[in-house]
Copies of this chain bind each other. A is one copy, B any other.
Amino acid sequence: MTGKPLFTIVPEGSITTPQGFRAGGLHCGLKKTERHDLGVIVCDVPAAAAAVYTLNAFQAAPLQVTRESIGVEGKLQAMAVNSGNANACTGKQGEADAREMRAATAQALGLPEHLVGVTSTGVIGELLPMDKVRSGIARLPGSLKWDGGNDFCQAILTTDLVQKMTCAEVIIDGKRIYIAGAAKGSGMIHPNMATMLGFMTTDAQVDSEDLQKLLSAITDSTFNMITVDGDTSTNDMVVVMASGLAGDRKLNAEHPDWPSFVAAFQYVGEYLAKAIARDGEGATKLIEVQVVGAATENAARAIAKTIVGSSLVKSACFGADANWGRIIAATGRSGQAVNVDTVDIRLGDFPVLEQSRPVKFDEEQAAEYLKGELVVIFVNLHMGDKQATAWGCDLTYEYVRINAAYRT
């Protein structure tokens, strides 16, 4: 080990930074305001592809269509996405519309259909206005740019307040390769808007199977470890495309630079996941819960997610209340075995519980810490060496306002 970082962050990087990718976005009329609502990522060559999908039983139609496309040869050359309408709970017509959206994109770009994926985010239960979608897709090729990352990012936003993208650089076989990502998501909804979409691009040369394994693994420790409100959308999806244009030889677990690639990949996933949590509906701060000393990784994950998802913990963070009783109560109801005599809890640097007994701390200083934009809750179970981290946000008046608002 030289101490050299495994990867570096590319400050102005976007999903078009990796070689071979262009992106675009335009307004086709699905959103009421003149913002982009249709976007596309296109690769110069068929890219190795992998994806993870929502576990919600009511999976939206476009997810099925994308899954079919990737199933054919593990490749995608384009991903089309619309916001403003989720094409979820739309029955047979919704399926037909998702297929037509794929066919139209393939035709506009001159690609075979099975190299095109589609996804949608927005209102549930309304049919896509296909006339608008069709005419929009016909104009998509004209929107493509080598620096179209921002246009694409705008096209996928719903209630999001900020665009979420990042790019990492990593050296493989002595050559520079990039891994980039863009995401949207802030609550399940703005009344009925669907949650989280993630798009990752890289110019590394990786097989579809290796990409899938890697994506599934990092999803478990990134996208699956965030919760804004505990509600899993019908439309969640993360898709990754690898153009291979920057690599001389296959990159996989046998390759000496694989750990660097994994680290950069993990960074991009974690960055996007945290950005979604921080931009949670109504949120004023990011909450990070680190659980260590667990007997199993599953236990660590379940406890971290239970704490970060607790309405009481979230309210306390909003109120800057060092209310560790709620943290221990959430730990205890997580369904995991815990040793009730050995739990330590810290809020940032403030120990509040040691060996399950209250510790005197300076309430004012702790409240000052909790008023910050990042609250780290640290829990040591002292039962083993497994750990997990989860991210979420505080529960605020604004969350209630946004979600109590009438849809129309």
Contacts and interface: CB of A to CB of B under 8 A. Distances in A.
A395 B400 contact: yes
Contacts of A124: 325, 328-329
A311 B401 CA distance: 12
Interface string A341-382: 100000000000100111000010001000000000000000
Interface stretch (A113-121, A154-162, A226-234): A226-234
A71 to B, nearest CB: 20
A223 interface: no
Interface residues of A, number: 67
Contacts of A302: none
A318 B402 CA distance: 11
A228 to B, nearest CB: 9
A143 interface: no
Contacts of A399: 311, 315, 400
A236 to B, nearest CB: 10
Give the number of copies in the complex.
2
A315 B403 CA distance: 6
A192 interface: yes
B326 A188 contact: yes
Given A58-B332, A126-B358, A400-B396, A407 B323 contact: yes
B91 A234 contact: no
A365 to B, nearest CB: 14
A253 interface: no
A319 B400 CA distance: 9
B404 A324 contact: no
A286 B329 CA distance: 25
A340 interface: yes
A325 B57 contact: no
A154 B126 CA distance: 51
B125 A358 contact: yes
Given A56-B329, A58-B328, A332-B57, A320 B396 contact: no
Contacts of A125: 324-325, 328, 353, 358
A5 B242 CA distance: 70
Contacts of A123: 325
Give the interface centre of A89, A187, A230 by most chain B CB atoms within 10 Å.
A89
Contact of A311 (B192, B311, B328, B340): B311
A191 interface: yes
A336 B357 CA distance: 38
A89 B328 CA distance: 9
14 contacts: A56-B329, A57-B340, A58-B340, A89-B328, A188-B329, A191-B325, A230-B311, A231-B333, A311-B399, A311-B403, A316-B404, A319-B403, A319-B406, A320-B406
